[in-house]
Amino acid sequence: MEHIQLAEGARGFVLSESQRAFRPWGFNYDHDERGRLLEDYWEKEWDKVEQDFAEMRGLGANCVRIHLQFGKFMESVDKPNPAALRQLERLLRLAERQQLYLDLTGLGCYHKKDVPAWYDALDEAERWQAQCRFWTAVAERAARSPAVFCYDLMNEPVVPGGQRERGGWLAPPFGDKHFVQFITLDQRQRPRPDIARAWVRQLVQAIRRVDRRHLITVGLVDWSLDRPGLTSGFVPQKVVSELDFLAVHLYPHQGKLDQAAETLRGFAVGKPVVVEESFPLWCSAEELEQFVEKSEPLAAGWFFFYWGRTLEELAQDKDLGSALLRAWLERFRKRARLYALTPNS
């Protein structure tokens, strides 16, 4: 299994030895069919993890995005959880066997009940330092594995405008999960993009102390562009210099595929852009495939979602959600041959 690196001209990715083009085509494996996060079952139900990885590979994926939760990996500000790190190494070995590259997304606080009280009590500088310690621990274990596609610093970070309440690090949940997280509670009259860039730089430096090879990105909401209305503070032009490529989360709306493609174009600021999250949430499976086709000149790769239900299991369900997911997974499998080159082992 070859390592992944940037292609010359920063337009995409290649396999390190053969220099064959590599285009991520994969899934977010953020929870299972019961809504459980990976760390909730990856010890007692390891066979399920193995089965899900085999199923994703069978659908034609070459990449899987894993969402690591801060509270499961850190026992204190500077003490990682050794059991979680051992399990991460086990996951890396599984990925190598299945020829699946991993997007390791960190610092998750998806279930508020699992977030340590001591973590929320930290001030900005202390919290950033704890986040650095998380990433140093993870990157130390992952540095030698060719299965690592990238490190994603955090899922959907936001710099608030003004001041937030003490301990208010999480945005409102989507369902029962807090996917959006604030990196500071007080802007203190600093330009928001400056805060974002400083945070990215500090975490990247923490990773680079132990791993100088693997790619680094951050998963941005699509409202990160510098334009009127709601913004995240992570303006692509202001943070791109600190990253190897940009990752954007983009969910096309019915009848607005051109608008989604134009938003994607806004993230094309000199380095590869990966659509790290997408799904027929606001459109049909057919329209999502049309968006993929429209985005081909711009996107260096795509990640969708897999939640542990096979095509056969989904076919037995009669609800609309299962039918929509099955329709998309069938399209995903058919298109896989266009993007998912089988890497050399």
Using one digit for the tens of pLDDT, what is the confidence trace for 312-322? 999 998 889 89
The predicted structure's pLDDT at residue 246: 98
Q: Which residues of 52-63 are buried (b: 16+ CB within 10 A; e: fewer)?
A: bbebbbebbbbb
The predicted structure's pLDDT at residue 9: 82
The predicted structure's pLDDT at residue 81: 98
The predicted structure's pLDDT at residue 11: 82
**Among the listed residues 328, 319, 331, 266, the one whose alpha carbon sits nearest the alpha carbon of residue 295:** 266
Q: Between the CA of residue 340 and those of 22, 41, 99, 211, what are the distances in Å?
A: 8, 28, 11, 26
E strand or H helix at 217: strand 215-221
Q: Catalogue all structural domains in the chain, each as residue range(s) with its CATH number.
A: 25-339 (3.20.20.80)
Q: Between the CA of residue 315 and those of 29, 323, 333, what are the distances in Å?
A: 20, 7, 15
The predicted structure's pLDDT at residue 239: 97
Which stretches in the chain have pLDDT values below 50? 342-345
Q: Name the DSSP letter for residue 168.
A: -
Spatial distance between the Cα atoms of 312 and 310, rounded to a whole number of angstroms: 5
